[in-house]
DNA sequence: TGTATCTATTTGTATAGACAAAAGCGGGTC
DNA sequence: GACCCGCTTTTGTCTATACAAATAGATACA
């Protein structure tokens, strides 16, 4: 059983996504949709407001509602936790802690992170393998002031990325993707050639204005890529199905 | 003059984004907000529905509405047209057409694009420079059936990417980011070393179910990166248990 | 003790009606 | 022509009301 405003939303969305109604097309007026769906204007309005809120249409008083032009310069990339990603794809994932040091921030790193010199950090190096083959080298810094419980965690059963997601709330994240050539140490760990092109993801996560963690994840370029789809329906989220209670 | 539902939306959003109301926090019931803002429930409901539609809160009948956890595994990357990007950053951009051939799709490329063998295409190679230094090598395929006017366009004044954006409507795009080592020809054009790590962006654009254009843009790794910020308004919906209650 | 049922609470959906705000349009005036 | 004025259309907002759906918690019962 689908609600009326939901059905209107989906019908119009289909026309837009399929390209039947191209950018600039004037969609029917509210009163026309009221006629078509035999419902009240508020119901139509709710569907159209949702489309407008998602940037799929532009509405102008006295003129009408028009299909918006999608912006090609923004795309949603899926950048998942390595273990989650491997499990989703049905692969076997394992990892090994290579280094686990408690240190204080030196000036160069402090500047890079935008945090004060001398702050206590946990530095972690971790090698991830998928189906037995090295897939990523993780170099992480955790701010101990923000995550005091990391001081006593040894990450033997849950990888650091997943552990942090479960433990620590955060409010902002920044991702950077770079291509770099593998140095000798990295190449050896990833079982690839020195100089091989690697895809590096850098993620810095904040809570409020303070860094929670900073991580570089280095993937061998011949075994990894990032992918992202963009179409108008992915501009936001509409599905909000009620959660089923665990019995 | 700001509407009431808008003000409610913004007030609640501020509490969530600032972290005053952490993930799992139960926000006030509709009837409490009705009291607080002295308006009807429909007005409150509109604000809360908008927050739910953006994935910032989870609503459950009989239980209440709760601040959602942001998903770390999705991020919005700015992937702009090269000329636009350079101009925005205040740099000088120039480009040179290296190749412009009308061909028919061979079987390998056809399979890669998911288009029929033998379809007519325009193949373009183009070198982009920023501030006089090579910054990107663009290898593009344009489906002439979808963009007939490309047959007579020589792209002497507008680069192909920008020209296509202005000329052709599209409904879906897919981006892939890879790290590859430069081969000899690429290295020569980009004025870098053979084997240097390069960041390659592949974009395929569709209208409906048919490809409009396919392009590989190869950047020298030492001069380029992709960056993306996570925005709170782009959170996804997550299933999670309430953690704390409002008093 | 465990289970089925009832009840109260909260959100979800829909309606009819009202007025406000924006803006295209035409008419009148100079 | 340029400008101002008012009419009309369309969207924006808000209200009061109503009933439906989900479900946590209480209660009755086997």
DSSP states of A132-188 as a string? Answer: TEEEEEEEEEEETTT-GGGGG---SSS-HHHHHHHH---SEEEEEEEEEE--HHHHH
User: What pLDDT, on a 0 to 100 scale, did the predictor assign at position B33?
Assistant: 97
End-to-end CA distance of chain A: 24
- Which B positions 101-120 lie with beta carbon below 8 A of chain A? none
Provide the percentage of residues in chain A whose pLDDT is more than 70.
83
> Half-sphere exposure of A76 toward its Cβ, with a 13 Å CA cutoff?
18
pLDDT in tens, B111-154: 999 999 999 999 999 999 888 889 899 999 999 999 999 999 98
**Average per-residue pLDDT for chain A:** 84
8 A C-beta contact, residue B88 and residue B121 = no
Q: How far apart, in whole angstroms, are the C-alpha atoms of residue B82 and residue A20?
A: 30
User: For residue B227, which residues of chain A lie inside 8 Å, CB to CB?
Assistant: 174-177
| E strands present in B85-208 | 93-104, 120-130, 133-143, 172-181, 197-207
pLDDT in tens, A139-177: 999 999 999 999 999 999 888 988 887 677 777 788 888
Please indicate if any CB of chain A lies within 8 Å of the CB of B134: no
User: What pLDDT, on a 0 to 100 scale, did the predictor assign at position A37?
Assistant: 96
A73 pLDDT above the threshold of 70: no
Q: Identify the structural domains of chain B with CATH numbers, from first to last.
A: 4-70 (1.10.10.10), 76-221 (3.40.1410.10)
Distance of CA A169 to the CA centre of its chain: 15
Q: Quick one: residue B118, left, alpha or beta (phi over 0 = left, psi -120 to 50 = alpha)? A: left
What is the CA A53 to C1' C17 distance in angstroms? 25
Question: Which residue from B minimizes the CA distance to A51?
Answer: B53
Nucleotides of C under 7 A from a protein CB: 8-18, 21-24
User: For residue B63, which residues of chain A lie inside 8 Å, CB to CB?
Assistant: none
Lowest mean pLDDT among B112-126, B149-163, B183-197, B217-231: B217-231
* Pure H helices in chain A: 4-17, 30-37, 41-53, 82-88, 107-113, 160-167, 184-190
> Across the interface, which of A170, A173, A195 has its CB nearest the CB of B75?
A173
ipTM of the complex as predicted:
0.73
What is the CA A163 to C1' C1 distance in angstroms? 40
User: For residue A243, which residues of chain B lie inside 8 Å, CB to CB?
Assistant: 58, 60, 239
What integer is the mean pLDDT of A14-22? 84
- Which B positions 153-182 lie with beta carbon below 8 A of chain A? 165, 169-181
Distance of CA A61 to the CA centre of its chain: 36
Q: How far apart, in whole angstroms, are the C-alpha atoms of residue B37 and residue A174?
A: 36
User: For residue A200, which residues of chain B lie inside 8 Å, CB to CB?
Assistant: 179
User: What pLDDT, on a 0 to 100 scale, did the predictor assign at position A207?
Assistant: 79
Q: In this complex, do B172 and A231 lie within 8 Å of one another by their Cβ atoms?
A: yes
CB atoms within 10 A of CB B36: 12
- Which A positions 3-22 lie with beta carbon below 8 A of chain B? 16-19, 22
Q: In this complex, do B176 and A23 lie within 8 Å of one another by their Cβ atoms?
A: no
Q: How far apart, in whole angstroms, are the C-alpha atoms of residue A23 and residue B168?
A: 10
User: What pLDDT, on a 0 to 100 scale, did the predictor assign at position A72?
Assistant: 56
The winner for highest mean pLDDT among A88-97, A204-213, B184-193 is B184-193
Q: Collapsing DSSP states into helix, strand and coil, what is residue A223?
A: helix
C-alpha distances (whole Å) from B57 to each of A16, A30, A233, B33, B240 are 27, 29, 20, 15, 11
What integer is the mean pLDDT of B205-217? 89
B68 compared with A111, residue with greater pLDDT? A111
8 A C-beta contact, residue A143 and residue A121 = yes
Please indicate if any CB of chain A lies within 8 Å of the CB of B226: yes
Q: Collapsing DSSP states into helix, strand and coil, what is residue A14?
A: helix
Give the residues across from A227 on adjacent strands: B176
- Which B positions 175-214 lie with beta carbon below 8 A of chain A? 175-181, 195-200, 205, 207-208
pLDDT in tens, A174-198: 888 889 999 999 999 999 988 899 9
Please indicate if any CB of chain A lies within 8 Å of the CB of B63: no
A221 pLDDT above the threshold of 90: no
């Amino acid at each position: 059983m689908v609600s009326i405003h939901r059905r209107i939303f989906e019908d119009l969305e289909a026309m837009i996504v399929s390209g039947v109604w191209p950018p600039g097309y004037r969609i029917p007026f509210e009163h026309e949709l009221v006629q078509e769906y035999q419902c009240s204007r508020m119901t139509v309005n709710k569907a159209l407001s949702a489309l407008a809120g998602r940037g799929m249409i532009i509405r102008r008083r006295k003129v009408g509602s028009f299909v918006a032009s999608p912006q090609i310069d923004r795309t949603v990339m899926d950048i998942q936790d390595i273990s989650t990603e491997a499990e989703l794809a049905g692969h076997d994932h394992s990892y090994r802690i290579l280094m686990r040091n408690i240190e204080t921030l030196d000036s160069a790193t402090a500047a890079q992170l935008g945090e004060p010199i001398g702050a206590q950090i946990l530095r972690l190096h971790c090698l991830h393998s998928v189906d037995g083959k090295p897939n990523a080298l993780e170099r992480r810094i955790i701010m101990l002031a923000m995550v005091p419980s990391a001081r006593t965690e040894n990450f033997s059963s849950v990888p650091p990325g997943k552990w942090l997601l479960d433990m620590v709330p955060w409010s902002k994240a920044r991702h950077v993707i770079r291509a770099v050539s593998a140095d000798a140490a990295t190449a050896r760990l990833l079982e690839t050639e020195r100089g091989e092109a690697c895809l590096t993801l850098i993620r810095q996560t904040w809570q409020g204005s303070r860094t929670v963690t900073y991580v570089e994840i280095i993937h061998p370029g011949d075994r990894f890529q990032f992918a992202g789809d963009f179409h108008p329906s992915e501009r936001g989220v509409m599905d909000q199905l009620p959660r089923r209670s665990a019995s």
